Amino acid sequence: MKNKTPKKKLIISGEDLLKPSTRKKMLRLIKKVYVAADLPDMFLSLHFTTDKEIKALNLQWRGKNKATDVLSFAAQEGEQMPGFDFVLGDIVISVDTARSQAKQLGHRTHQEIAVLFVHGLLHLLGLDHERDEESAIRQVECEMALLDRADISPLLALTRREL
């Protein structure tokens, strides 16, 4: 029997926190980004939540007692776990913060979510803007390139964001 690898699988939950029109546009953009990323067959979950829930996660996993826009939880950190070869990880996005940032930055919520998804995805792939300035520059360049490949304005990645 051949060892079959899973097909790309994006599991999304919590999208009911978004208005139906925003949800539809967001799903279209997320799928475009996912295809543009050209990842090998992998499982990835995307969870939408509230500021209250992401604040609790941020405190538990990063020791920061405040809401944030996006958190990433890589499945493959450290030693490889058997059976998890095809699991990339989880991205958690606060809908409350995404809405607020979109309004503040002058674009739509679905666009902000696409940028946050790209940001989280690049963290899962090993980029980390918090290491040093060079890493931060590299991450923004990659964010812009991935947004561009997905036909989303790469300038959205240049908006000022809290680290």
Query: What is the rounded distance in angstroms from the CA atom of residue 106 to the CA atom of residue 92?
Result: 22
Q: Is 142 within the bounds of a domain? A: yes
Q: Is 99 within the bounds of a domain? A: yes
CATH number, domain of 146, equals 3.40.390.30
Cβ contact 74:124 at 8 Å: yes
Mean pLDDT over all residues of the chain?
Answer: 82
79 compared with 28, residue with greater pLDDT: 28
Q: Is 163 within the bounds of a domain? A: no
Distances (CA, A) of 133 to 92, 128, 130, 137: 24, 10, 8, 6
What total of structural domains would you count in the chain? 1
pLDDT in tens, 101-147: 999 988 999 999 999 998 898 888 876 777 777 777 887 888 888 89
Q: Is 53 within the bounds of a domain? A: yes
| Strand (E) or helix (H) holding 98 | helix 95-105
78 pLDDT higher than 70: no
pLDDT band, residue 91 (cuts 50/70/90): very high
1 pLDDT higher than 50: no
Q: Is 63 within the bounds of a domain? A: yes
Collapse the DSSP code of 66 into the 3-class scheme (helix H, G, I; strand E, B; otherwise coil) and give the result. Answer: coil
9 compared with 60, residue with greater pLDDT: 60
Q: Is 68 within the bounds of a domain? A: yes
- In terms of residue numbers, what domain contains 136? 9-154
pTM across the whole model: 0.84
